[in-house]
Amino acid sequence: MTFLDYAPAPESTSILDLRQEYGLFIGGEWRPGGGTSFASVSPSTERQIATFASADEGDVDAAVAAARTAYRQTWGPMSGRDRGKYLFRIARILQERARELAVAESLDNGKPIKETRDADIPLVAQWFFHCAGWADKLDWVGLGADPQPHGVAAQVIPWNFPLLMLSWKVAPALAAGNTVVLKPAETTPLTAMLFAEICEQAGLPAGVVNLITGAGETGAALVRHPDVDKVAFTGSTAVGREIAKALAGTEKKLTLELGGKGANIVFDDAPLDQAIEGIVNGIFFNQGQVCCAGSRLLVQESIHDAVMDRLKERMSTLRLGDPLDKNTDVGAINSTEQLERITRLVDAGIAEGGEAWSPACELPKEGYWFAPTVVTGVEASSTIAREEIFGPVLSVLTFRTPDEAIAKANNTPYGLSAGIWSDKGSRVLAVADKLRAGVVWTNTFNKFDPASPFGGYKESGYGREGGRQGMQAYLKGGN
């Protein structure tokens, strides 16, 4: 065994105390669902973790009613200061149970423990801590004095950052004074159930947070429910579009965080070693299952070969395998459906003349895996340069001038994220100005912070999460 093979360093799962089955968390109580229960499996082993209730329309009704009651009776009348104190409590309990949550998330999602431990879960706690402080300062979110919550917020979140997306939704909604009904993704419901326990530990009044599990139909019923005032959705552009249509003509407020096809632009004066790290982090973080992933590498022609050499060398040091091993860099793909989608799109890319390269790496026999892949010879018109793959697949395009880089970066219906790598500050700022993307990372990538608004242009959705702008999405009026 060579040194770089690093002996196994698995994080113990003994910290988990999971139930065999989880119900719906409605009005502060656990109850069975009207639909057929479903199992969540660990993507790295295909072994069942637990079963989860499926909420039918009656359950959705009950959850919305519970949220409405709590809004009228407890959370709505409560002072902002007290709401904030509940959220601070939750933030602290999240920190206390961070290791357990990191293990659970890694188990359920398939992402490396190092990411859940160092990124997802710390950000979850930070998000609650940040929003907690807003609860008694709403006069300053920028809507005038005394803005009001919408009422009941329906929230549907994806599987790529299960608990983090929950925190992006629940924390600002509660701080603003709304009550929530949230549906986690069907393949990653586990940490939402643990979050219900945390709400119980925090003594959060019943009905303020209601968590209902289920598939797409459950989410569809939730966002269309007539007694919902505000809908927040993170997920695919296709589903976002359907929700926007369904809500047309209603009084419901809507924010959408949808797909992306982020360009990562590397200029010839880039800090090269850091750019390589940024490219790797941009597309292989969370197996590329990130809406803001830097999935299109735009590299200046003059340094294309140097960048590709270094990138391939760096990719060769990525360690793919057991998500719970503390040295794993690339974990499992979340589901067999997602794996099929990635495979199909990469095949299409190769069929269109792209050249795919992956480092030598053995994929485990069980579970859903896709090796980190870079596809060169991609043109702006190629399928894999246009469609969101949502996997560890980087498409490489070249450019000659800053204007060409900007034009290619913007040549997409999406507009969520972009990266710029250059040592020239004035150029960085000018290019950032021209990019039609909600988040532009310069000399870094995939950074998130509750104080920093996040969200897209164009078909990447509307509304922002994080910061003052994120709070505004959960408030109306103001004098």
Partner 1 sequence: MATAKTATTTASRAAAKPSTRLDVPKTYKLFIGGAFPRSESGRVTEVTDARGRFVANVAKASRKDAREAVRAARKAQPGWAGATAYNRGQVLYRVAEVLEGRKAQFVDELQKTEGLTAARAAKQVEAAIDLWVWHAGWTDKIAQIGGNANPVAGPYFNLSVPEPTGVVAIVAPQAQSLLGLTSVVAPALVTGNTVVVVPGGAGLSAISLGEVLATSDLPGGVVNILPGDAAELAPWLAGHADVNALDLTGAGELDWVELEQLAADTLKRVIRPVAGPAPETPQRILALTETKTVWHTKSRL
Partner 2 sequence: MTTPSQALAPAQRAVQLLGGDLSEVALRQHLEGLPTVDAVGLEARAASFGTRSIKTTSKAAALDTAIRMIDLTTLQGADTRGKVRSLVAKALVPDASDPSTPRPAAVCVYGDMVGNAVEALGSAWSAGKDDGINVAAVATAFPAGRASIAVKLQDTRDAVAAGADEIDMVIDRGAFLEGNYGKVFDEIVQTKEACRRDDGTFAHLKVILETGELVTYDNVRRASWLSILAGGDFIKTSTGKVQPAATLPVTTLMLQVVRDWERLTGERIGVKPAGGISTSKDAIKYLVAVAETCGEAWLDPHLFRFGASSLLNDVLLQRQKLTTGRYSGPDYVTID
Task: Enumerate the active-site residues.
Answer: 257, 291
Residue of the chain from 48, 79, 302, 317 that contacts partner 2 (CB under 8 A): 317
In the complex with partner 1, the residue whose CB is nearer, 97 or 252, is 252
Among 95, 201, 444, 452, which residue interacts with partner 2 (rule: CB under 8 A)?
Answer: 444
Total residues at interface with partner 1 (CB under 8 A): 45
Question: What is the DSSP annotation of 346-394?
Answer: HHHHHHTT-EEE--S-PPPSSS-----EEEES--TTSHHHHS---SSEE
d(CA 220, CA 467): 28
Q: Of 1 and 248, which has the nearer Cβ to partner 2? A: 1
Among 401, 423, 449, 451, binds partner 2 (CB under 8 A): 423
Q: Minimum Å distance from CB 290 to partner 2? A: 17
One DSSP character per residue, 107-173 reads: HHH---HHHIIIIIHHHHHHHHHHHHHHTT-GGGSSS-SSEEE-SEEEEE--SSSHHHHHHHHHHHH
Residue 467 has which token pair? Answer: 């910061």
Give the C-alpha distances (Å, rounded to integers) separating 65 from 27, 184, 210, 217, 329. Answer: 9, 19, 10, 19, 43
Mapped onto helix, strand or coil, the DSSP state of residue 224 is helix
Pairwise CA distance, residues 193 & 30, whole Å: 10
428 near partner 1 (CB under 8 A)? yes
- Are the beta carbons of 243 and 234 closer than 8 angstroms? no
Within residues 34-63, the interface with partner 2 by CB under 8 A covers none
Residue 128 tokens read as 């609650």
Query: Is residue 433 near partner 2 by the rule CB under 8 A?
Result: no
**Residue 166: which of 150, 186, 149, 189 has the closest Cα?**
189
Distance CA 194, CA 220 (A): 24
Instruction: Dump strand ranges (E) for 226-367.
Output: 230-234, 253-257, 263-266, 296-300, 355-357
Pairing relationship of beta strands 48-52 and 38-41 according to DSSP bridges: antiparallel
Which residue of 237, 289, 335, 373 would you call a contact of partner 1, by CB under 8 A? 237
Interface with partner 1 (CB under 8 A), residue from 215, 244, 308, 356: 244
Least gap, CB of 150 to partner 1 (angstroms): 15
Q: Which is nearer to partner 2, 309 or 449 (CB)?
A: 309
Residue 30, φ and ψ in degrees, nearest 5: -90, 130
Q: Distances in Å between the alpha carbon of 132 and those of 120, 126, 304, 425, 447?
A: 18, 10, 46, 36, 21
Which listed option, partner 1, partner 2, none, makes contact with residue 27 (CB within 5 to 8 Å by class)?
none
168 touches partner 1 by CB under 8 A? no
Q: Per this entry, what is the length of the chain?
A: 479
Of the pair 81, 447, the CB lying nearest partner 2 is at 447
Q: Which of 7, 248, 351, 360 binds partner 2 (CB under 8 A)?
A: 7
Interface with partner 2 (CB under 8 A), residue from 201, 327, 411, 452: 327
HSE of 36, CA atoms in CB hemisphere, 13 A: 0
The first and second tokens of residue 84, run together, are 């904030």
* 407 contributes a contact to partner 1 by CB under 8 A: no
Residue 452 contacts which entry, partner 1, partner 2, none (Cβ below 5-8 A, type-dependent): partner 1
Q: Give 269 or 366: the residue with its C-beta nearer to partner 2.
A: 269
Among residues 437, 471, 474, 475, which is the contact residue for partner 1, using CB under 8 A? Answer: 437
Does position 272 bind partner 2 by CB under 8 A?
yes
Question: Among candidates 312, 331, 314, 313, which has minimal Cα distance to 322?
Answer: 331
- Does 397 bind partner 1 (CB under 8 A)? Our answer is no
Question: Nearest approach, Cβ of 360 to partner 1 (angstroms)?
Answer: 33
Could you tell which of partner 1, partner 2, none binds residue 226, using a CB distance below 5 to 8 A set by kind? Answer: none
Q: What string marks each residue from 125 to 164 as x (binds partner 1 by CB under 8 A) or -?
A: -x---------------xx---------------------
d(CA 54, CA 393): 33
CA distance 460 to 111: 24
Strand 263-266 to 253-257 pairing? unpaired
9 contact choice in partner 1, partner 2, none (CB below 5 to 8 Å, kind-dependent): partner 2
Does the CA dihedral 299-305-306-310 come out positive or negative?
A: positive
Within positions 69 to 128, which residues make up the interface with partner 1, using CB under 8 A? 126
Measured from the CB atom, is 79 or 274 closer to partner 1?
274
Contacting residue, 8, 142, 353, 413, with partner 2 by CB under 8 A: 8
Binding to partner 1 by residue 249, rule CB under 8 A? yes
274-313 residues in contact with partner 2 (CB under 8 A) are 274, 277-278, 309
Contacting residues toward partner 2, per CB under 8 A: 1-9, 114, 118, 269-274, 277-278, 309, 317, 326-327, 423, 443-444
Contacting residues toward partner 1, per CB under 8 A: 126, 142-143, 237, 240-241, 244-245, 248-249, 256, 258, 413, 415, 428-429, 432, 434-444, 447, 449, 451-455, 457-462, 464, 467-469
